[in-house]
Amino acid sequence: MSRFAAPIAEQIWDMKYRLKEQDGTPIDATVEDSWRRIARALASVEKDPAEWEAKFYNALEDFKYLPAGRITAGAGTGRAVTLFNCFVMGTIPDNMGGIFDMLKEAALTMQQGGGIGYDFSTIRPRGAEVKGVAADASGPLSFMDVWDAMCRTIMSAGSRRGAMMATMRCDHPDIENFITAKQDSARLRMFNLSVLVTDDFMEAVKADKPWDLKFGGKVYHTVNARDLWNKIMRATYDYAEPGVIFIDRINKMNNLNYVEQIAATNPCGEQPLPPYGACLLGSVNLARLVTDPFEANAELDPEKLDELVRLAIRMMDNVVDASRFPLPQQEEEAQNKRRIGLGVTGLADALLMLGLRYGSEEAAAQTESWMKQIARASYLASVDLAKEKGAFPLFDAEKYLASGNMMQMDDDVREAIREHGIRNALLTSIAPTGTISLYAGNVSSGIEPVFAYAYKRKVLQPDGSRTEEEVVDYAVQMWRDKFGDAPLPDYFVNAQTLAPLDHVRMQAAAQKWIDSSISKTINCPEDISFEGFKDVYMEAYETGCKGCTTYRPNEVTGSVLSVSENSEKTPEADSGADVVYLTEPLDRPAALEGATYKIKWPGSEHAIYITINDIVQGGHRRPFEVFINSKNMEHFAWTVALTRMVSAVFRRGGDVSFVVEELKAVFDPRGGAWVQGKYVPSILAAIGGVIERHLISIGFIEGEGMGLKSDPEAEKMIVNEAPRGKTCPSCGSFSMRMVEGCMTCADCGHSKCG
Amino acid letter, 403: S
Q: How, if at all, do strands 547-548 and 243-246 pair? A: antiparallel
SS (H, E, C) 696-725: HHCCCECCCCCCECCCHHHHEECHHHCECC
- b/e per residue 400-421 (b: at least 16 CB within 10 A): bbebbbbeebeeebbebbeebb
Going from the C-alpha of 633 to that of each of 604, 608, 673, 709, the distances in angstroms are 12, 11, 21, 37
- Residue 734 to residue 724: CA distance in whole angstroms: 6
> Exactly one of 86, 151, 170, 268 is catalytic; which is it?
268
Query: DSSP string of 180-248?
Result: HGGGSTTSSTTEEEEEEE-HHHHHHHHHT-EEEEEETTEEEEEEEHHHHHHHHHHHHHHHS--EEEEHH
332 catalytic, yes or no? no
Single-letter amino acid code for the residue at 350: A
Which DSSP category does 139 fall into?
A: -
Helix (H) or strand (E) holding 169: strand 164-169
Strand partners, 160: 156
> What distance in Å separates the CA atoms of residue 102 and residue 92, rounded to the nearest whole number?
6
Contact 698, 614 (CB under 8 A): yes
3-state SS class at 663:
helix
Annotate 27-54 with b (16+ C-beta within 10 A) or e (fewer). Answer: ebeebeebbbbbbbbbbeebeebeebbe
Please state, as a whole number, how many other Cβ atoms lie within 10 Å of the Cβ of residue 25: 7
Whole-angstrom distance, CA of residue 611 vs CA of residue 631: 15
Using CB atoms within 10 Å of the CB of residue 475, give its burial: 0 to 12 exposed, 13 to 18 middle, 19+ buried.
Answer: buried
* Closest residue by Cα to residue 191 from 148, 245, 152, 233: 148
Distance CA 390, CA 741 (A): 37
Q: Which residues pair with 627 in a beta bridge?
A: 611
Residue 347 CB-half CA count within 13 A: 30
Query: Cα separation of 167 and 384, whole Å?
Result: 37
Instruction: Considering the candidates 85, 255, 266, 442, report the single residue annotated as catalytic.
Output: 266
| DSSP single-letter state for residue 90 | P
Contact (Cβ atoms closer than 8 angstroms) between residue 281 and residue 85: yes
Active site residue 270: yes
Cα–Cα distance for residue pair 285/342, rounded to 1 Å: 11
Question: What SS3 class is residue 556?
Answer: coil
**Residue among 444, 418, 430 nearest 351 (CA):** 444
- Helices and strands: H and E segment counts in the chain: 23, 32
* Amino acid type, 33: D
Give 418-445 as a DSSP string. HHH--S-S--B-B---HHHHHHTTSPPP
Three state DSSP letters for 321-378: HHCCCCCHHHHHHHHHHCCCEEEEECHHHHHHHCCCCCCCHHHHHHHHHHHHHHHHHH
Residue 632: active-site member: no
Rounded to whole angstroms, how far apart are CA atoms 87 and 326? 10
Query: Which residues are 284's β-sheet partners?
Result: 65, 344
Catalytic, out of 105, 260, 270, 625: 270
- Cβ(52)–Cβ(314) below 8 Å: yes
For the beta sheet containing 454-460, the strands, ordered from the edge strand earlier in sequence to the opposite edge, are 466-472, 454-460, 581-582
Residues with a known catalytic role: 266, 268, 270
